[in-house]
Structure 1
């Protein structure tokens, strides 16, 4: 059963049960109140009759038999209350009738259950109607008799029946009108749920941009808000997975291509050595090509291994003096840069920062080497370190050929090389910046690039919240 119908039928059932119970209690209370009033009236009339008979018997005096006297007095007396004649009956202890002006005659079984000073009543029903029969003990001149009173209560039962019929009619009307109102209200309430269901179906079908409207401040609005947040996160994760899958596909394609080129050369030159007779110089040339391509394959495999290992590596953070650290780097690369006609300078503000020195040395050597490769006929390469608030920034600037903006967004991808022919010629594999990026992520550092064609490149490594110890 749909949730809408559950709400509808549950609401109608609760309303019907509550209305029925309330109506029954109200009618039953009214019935009992009327019946109690009639019983109390019968008690009052019984008291009036008793005192009237007792007074008359006392005023009569004489030695006449009390039964005969009581019969004569009861026949002669006319008892009224508010211009209404009171009918009554008098019975002896054996149940024999002494006097009766009642319209109906009923058995006197109630007498057996009464005590000497206790009155009682019972309900009697005939085809003509319903009656309250009240019998009270009465003592006249030392003799015990019983006064019987009857109150017709047919109208109470008729009134109860009429009220039940009215209740059923009202309930029928309430079910009709209430059902229509409940149907409309349930539809309005479920409209938001239906909207969420359709949105869920659309997203399941692949429409990740589907969202639901957020109106109001109730629970449905909160649910819609959370649903949209979930859909945003899901869409973002899906796009990330698609992007990751695409990158993996590109990675595999690039890796296959990088392997294919040196392997083709190795196989070709090896085949030439195997099948042809060549001079010593030609053999040396072929061997040189095979050696160079083998070394490039070795470099490629080692760098790829480093990239894989870095993803699961834990860094050993050691406080390091930045000036001493870059003095070592300058000593390592200075001669090569000077040999290629590159003017190198390094100026570092004083700082002691915790990082893994060996890994960070790999980062800066790669960045400096990339700057070197970007300058074919000499140039300038500058390294500077400075504080920027709580962050320490290392900036590497070169005066090389620079890069276009579309290249900057991809240079950290594995195997990506802006100038493939020059990069391969210089021994590049397109993994250097990918490795650098992984190392910086391990330290929670960031790297940014600023470059323009013909104006060189500036690389900034930001060491966030560095502690100047």
Structure 2
């Protein structure tokens, strides 16, 4: 790009500057020549009148007398830049034309001729059928001026080319330097390295390109960070899933082997079959919850406006021991997901070791689920929504959980543009609150 800019600038100077200088020099030359031509024309007119009055009135004047008269008039009026040539019947009486200008004697009318080789102006004036006056004015000074101006123009063109080349190198270097920085930054992004590019305060195209490139790089970095986090969470989920599946699968395999070796022990067979059924149900529940978690990332809310009280009554129909309080209100959300959310929270609270019924309290934009169970520490509260995380793995397994309930609930809440609020005190119980945001779900997702 830098070579193109320099070449373009030089070509532009070569096209414009010589043309402008040529036009200017030629105009100056033409103006000077025209002024001198007018002056020579005026002088020749005066000479023609004098010669006509002195010579033509006396036809018997000899050629010698005519020559003397012409020379006398030339000296008297003193035109230093003008040479007088006088012919009688094509015979020179005073001065001789050169071979290049001899054709002027054939002119029948007054005319002027500018001879470039001789750098002189000839004015041919036939006084009558015998006498012809020719004046030769020296224009060498104008041609000399033309040559000097042409030489000066060439020097100006050369200087202009040098200046244009230097300026174009400086300007293109300044422009391409920023582009080279962007190019190196692009290479760094391609190789995965960090870039060190400062935002540009300039409002030109390269400044805008720089800021756009920085924004693009930030987006790429954020996307890579999100992908790494997703990969980390996915690996953690796989590791936890493998760990969780090991226990029920081990129990099922051990029970099956005991049945094979148990002989006629009917009671043991029944216990082992119950264990197999229980662990199989646990695996099925784990699979169902995992499928829900997987689909939750691409789920689209099917929002509708409904009564919070009617929704809660339907959700708690499978857990009649739960206590429902609070006032009814109308909300807009995905009704099926909110039912699933409430049921999971109630089931999770019921497994907390509470000795009192689980309480569900309605409020204008949501609800809360409370228990008086064993509770959680602040560290446990911060991690309880992680997939497969359990404060007490042995106790949770005994209660049949897999550590996915609160993860599902948190994902449902985030789909609605909010988060679960969990307050817990060890030994006193836990309260989980779900509140829909003030704005509509469509605005939240947008």
Bin for the TM-score computed over the shorter chain: 0.7 to 0.9
Q: Structure 2 vs 1, CA of residues 407 and 221 (structure 1 numbering), >3 Å: closer, same or farther?
A: farther
The CA distance in 1 between the partners of 2:429 and 2:174, in whole Å, is: 64
Aligned with residue 131 of structure 1, among 104, 115, 119: 119
Aligned with residue 338 of structure 2, among 360, 364, 386: 360
Within-5 A mapping of 1:117-266: 119-125=111-117, 130-140=118-128, 143=129, 146-176=132-162, 179-208=165-194, 210-219=195-204, 220-266=206-252
CA RMSD in angstroms comes to 3.5
Residue 34 of structure 2 aligns with which residue?
Answer: 36
The CA distance in 2 between the partners of 1:314 and 1:29, in whole Å, is: 81
State the TM-score, normalizing by the size of structure 2: 0.83
Residue 19 of structure 2 aligns with which residue?
Answer: 21
- Aligned residue for 1:46, secondary structure, equals helix
Aligned 8 A contact 2:306 2:331 in 1: yes
Q: Is 1:384 equivalent to 2:361 in the alignment?
A: yes
Q: Is 1:346 equivalent to 2:325 in the alignment?
A: yes
The alpha-carbon deviation at position 91 of structure 1 amounts to 4.4
Residue 451 of structure 1 aligns with which residue?
Answer: 423
Q: Structure 2 vs 1, CA of residues 370 and 237 (structure 1 numbering), >3 Å: closer, same or farther?
A: same
Residue 52 of structure 1 aligns with which residue?
Answer: 50
Aligned 8 A contact 1:408 1:449 in 2: no
Q: Which moved more, 1:46-55 or 1:363-372?
A: 46-55
The CA distance in 2 between the partners of 1:48 and 1:57, in whole Å, is: 14
Q: Is 1:109 equivalent to 2:87 in the alignment?
A: no
Aligned with residue 280 of structure 1, among 253, 266, 273: 266
Q: Structure 2 vs 1, CA of residues 293 and 358 (structure 1 numbering), >3 Å: closer, same or farther?
A: same
Gaps spanning 5+ residues in structure 2: where?
441-446
Q: Deviations over 1:383-414 (max 9, x none)?
A: 33434xxxx24333444444445555554444
Q: Which moved more, 1:448-457 or 1:363-372?
A: 448-457
Aligned with residue 299 of structure 1, among 258, 267, 285: 285
Residue 462 of structure 1 aligns with which residue?
Answer: 435
The CA distance in 2 between the partners of 1:192 and 1:147, in whole Å, is: 75
Q: Is 1:100 equivalent to 2:94 in the alignment?
A: yes
- Aligned residue for 2:119, secondary structure, equals strand
- Aligned residue for 1:108, secondary structure, equals helix
Aligned 8 A contact 1:270 1:286 in 2: yes
Q: Structure 2 vs 1, CA of residues 205 and 356 (structure 1 numbering), >3 Å: closer, same or farther?
A: closer
The alpha-carbon deviation at position 235 of structure 1 amounts to 0.7
Residue 417 of structure 1 aligns with which residue?
Answer: 390
The CA distance in 1 between the partners of 2:138 and 2:81, in whole Å, is: 14
The CA distance in 2 between the partners of 1:169 and 1:39, in whole Å, is: 30
Q: Deviations over 1:245-271 (max 9, x none)?
A: 222222222223333321221111111
Q: Structure 2 vs 1, CA of residues 347 and 152 (structure 1 numbering), >3 Å: closer, same or farther?
A: same
The alpha-carbon deviation at position 434 of structure 1 amounts to 3.6
- Aligned residue for 2:101, secondary structure, equals coil
Q: Structure 2 vs 1, CA of residues 270 and 149 (structure 1 numbering), >3 Å: closer, same or farther?
A: same
Q: Is 1:426 equivalent to 2:395 in the alignment?
A: no
Q: Structure 2 vs 1, CA of residues 153 and 456 (structure 1 numbering), >3 Å: closer, same or farther?
A: farther
State the TM-score, normalizing by the size of structure 1: 0.79
Aligned 8 A contact 2:354 2:429 in 1: no
The alpha-carbon deviation at position 201 of structure 1 amounts to 2.8
Q: Structure 2 vs 1, CA of residues 85 and 365 (structure 1 numbering), >3 Å: closer, same or farther?
A: closer
Q: Which moved more, 1:320-329 or 1:68-77?
A: 68-77
Gaps spanning 5+ residues in structure 1: where?
338-343
Q: Structure 2 vs 1, CA of residues 418 and 48 (structure 1 numbering), >3 Å: closer, same or farther?
A: farther
The alpha-carbon deviation at position 55 of structure 1 amounts to 3.2
Aligned with residue 78 of structure 1, among 74, 77, 96: 74
Which structure dedicates a bigger proportion of its chain to helix?
A: 2
Aligned 8 A contact 2:359 2:369 in 1: yes
Q: Which moved more, 1:103-112 or 1:324-333?
A: 103-112
Aligned residues: 438
